[in-house]
Amino acid sequence: MQRLLIVSNRLPVSVERRKTKLHFQPSVGGLAIGLGSFYKSYNSLWVGWPGIALNKKDSQEREPLEAKLLSEFNCYPVFLSHNDVENYYHGFCNRTLWPLFHYFTQYVVYDEALYETYKRVNRTFCEAVTEVAKEEDIIWIHDYHLMLLPKLIREKMPDATIGFFLHIPFPSFEAFRLLPWRKEILEGVLGADLIGFHTYDYARHFLSNVRNLLGYEHTLGQISGEDRVIRVDVFPMGIDYEGYANATERREVQKNVNKMRKKLGDTRVILSIDRLDYTKGIPQRLEAFDAFLGKNPQYKEGVTLILVAVPSRTQVEHYRLLKKQVDELIGKINGEHGTIGWIPIWYLYRFLRFPTLNALYSIADIAFVTPLRDGMNLIAKEYLASKTDGRGVLILSEMAGASKELGEALIVNPNNKEELVEALEEALVMPEDEQIEANRMMQKRLQRYNVRRWAEDFVDRLLYTKRLQREMGARMLTSKMRQKLVSDYRKSKRRLLLLDYDGTLIPFFVRPEVARPSETLIKLLEQLCDDPQNEVVLISGRDRGTLERWFGNIDLRLVAEHGAWIREEEWELIEPLANDWKEEIRPILELYMDRTPGSFIEEKEFSLVWHYRRAESELASVRARELKEELFHLTANLNLGVLEGSKVLEIKNIGINKGRAALRWISKEQWDFILAIGDDLTDEDVFAVMPESAYSIKVGLSPSKARFNIVSQYEVRDLLRELVETKDREVKDS
């Protein structure tokens, strides 16, 4: 079994200094609790911060602490200084990323110094991981604290198997674009092979940001990066279902249940458990409970809200202000509605041990879980797992990731006070058989997809992605195959080179007219054409006027408009073509251009092209599908086809394609070396007509009819440069 390296900000065990001794106790965080049971049963090592700040001068404490964590807990510590903890964890993580990713943009701090510390700490984690990681290990990185880490490890270990999972929401483009270091964060995460999210919405937002900010397209969550395929997928985190369900029968839990019932009597219990965080919607929940008591006086002395608030990030100002607000609200509600012998709200400001927590789940008639924004929220799942008799009602915010799985709960908008009040009213009168029916359905789901299944699902998908990469790697033009290509080129006497232009010899530009060939590229093409043994053909979708201006002075063979025009000596049409259809099609394209800001129309002699590279990507994708469908019906009887290229739709005569033009040269004579290079769908027609002995190369990592893939345009030019240099060496040798 491969070893699993779990990497997170905190270890599942926390170290505290009490007087002169170090004490070890389980960590509080949801990740530590959720994965704690899984990692112990797996061949794994957990890498993270142990919760105690130690400087380099504390080396006498470091070594024995590291040894104890390794031997007793299977944990490898990353040591951070007080300054690191302050500026990295309390700083960039929780003053910048946390509020931004939860859409609290008014709380976000943009501070270069905090980001520099974040980078440095991520590098520290990288050093720790690479110290213990072996080549065959699976490295699974968790959460927003370590978003630069995947790329850092990739730079040190290019072939590593790396997964990344984000446990909080990923914001939409409109929110994420506010971050000054947005590209660096995305590039950091894209160092992973598999990137996981709790919900489809978060994955969709991530992919949208990658496309808008880095320009990488995806197909069904698969991104073709610069050097490998990267997978983005959804894995809703589960819990240790059996652990919570079985705990209700434990003696300690039953003892707590009896004690609580004795104090509460017949009072109905509404339970609210959260970290004290502004994303959890605690003030809104309290205000709704206040409104509920005001509207329903019959429930006074008959219902109690038990509010558990776990202390969190007390050094951050917004959290201190939140505690003050919550304290005041509870005092106001208890003072206004309370009676002698009955307190409406029991307020517990502390962390609860598992037996107490499980007892609260058991006695609660209602779980009131209404965060304003939450990545998943495991409290809702833990509550359901603990309700072994099936009774109880879950009120759940639609802003929590768990709401996508737990649709049988009472789903509410946490900002709608009236809706929260109505949900409380409905929950209190819901018949037991309805409660049991809804809960049993959710429980079966949670039982099937528990935390172990979640983790195994992620790891299996990660290994599948690595297999996919290896298959793609087998198609890459390796150095060995490149040497063979150059050798075959050197030995051959008659060579045919079929080259695309945009996306192959030069990168794509937002405006096509900017993509002029540089002097270096012109010189390279001249050198290829000067060799009398070479026939070099540039097969492009560009119009003939542009190709003539840019390449007319070179002894190149030119193909324009995807094969409509061909120039050997003079320009000629491949066959008689009509263009009177343009008058019927142009108004349709103009309508879509007007409806899609940033798009524009290019008119060639025998085709019309709708470009949408400059348009907002999601809108453009929708419009492109709509336009393609409309054109499909419109051109059915006009002998026209709709050609889909890179961010373009081109309408042209059926039968005109690059492959047909390529065949003109392939059949011209007996070539002993043929090389074809292209980058998009239009070049697949060329690859399809290549003889078996030919070298065909697709630029980019997407599947293709070409024999090989190459990463970028820069590698294409480097390859062509090597062919030229090969000829130069032959001349010198002779």
State the catalytic residues: 500
The whole-angstrom separation of Cα 727 and Cα 705 is 29
42 Cβ neighbours under 8 A, 6+ residues apart: 1, 4, 455
Q: Which two tokens stand for residue 379?
A: 């409290």
Total residues found in the chain within this entry:
734
Q: Which amino acid is at 637?
A: N
Does residue 435 contact residue 393 with C-beta atoms inside 8 Å? yes
Q: Which of 68, 98, 89, 251 is nearest to 168 (CA)?
A: 98
Is 705 in contact with 684 (CB distance < 8 Å)?
Answer: yes
Write the CB contacts of 721 (distance below 8 Å, at least 6 apart in sequence): 524
Phi/psi of residue 264, each to 5°? -85, -25
Q: What single-letter amino acid sits at 601?
A: I
Q: Which residues pair with 21 in a beta bridge?
A: 18
User: In terms of DSSP bridges, do strands 565-567 and 557-560 run parallel, antiparallel, or are they unpaired?
Assistant: antiparallel
Residue 299 amino acid letter: Y
Structure tokens at 219: 């197909």
Query: CB neighbours of 494 closer than 8 A, spacing ≥ 6?
Result: 533, 535, 669, 670, 671, 672, 673
Distance in angstroms (rounded) separating the CA atoms of residues 378 and 393: 16
| Residue burial 422-458, b: 16+ Cβ < 10 Å; e: rest | bbbeebbebeeeebbebbeebbebbbebbbbebbebb
- The DSSP bridge pattern shows strands 21-26 and 194-197 to be unpaired
Closest CA to 635 of 625, 613, 650: 650
The strands making up 571-573's β-sheet, listed across from edge to edge, are 571-573, 565-567, 557-560, 534-539, 495-499, 673-678, 695-699, 708-710
Contact 386, 244 (CB under 8 A): yes
The answer to whether 217 touches 229, Cβ cutoff 8 Å, is: no
CB 382 within 8 A of CB 239: yes
- Residue 46's contacts (CB-CB under 8 Å, 6 or more residues apart) are 5, 6, 7, 8, 11, 12, 39, 73, 74, 75, 76
* Residue 13 and residue 75 in contact, taking contact as beta carbons nearer than 8 Å: yes
Number of helices followed by number of strands (H, E) in the chain: 26, 29
What are the tokens at 188? 């950091």
Q: What is the rounded radius of gyration, in angstroms, for the C-alpha atoms of the chain?
A: 32
- Report which secondary-structure segment, H or E, holds 677: strand 673-678
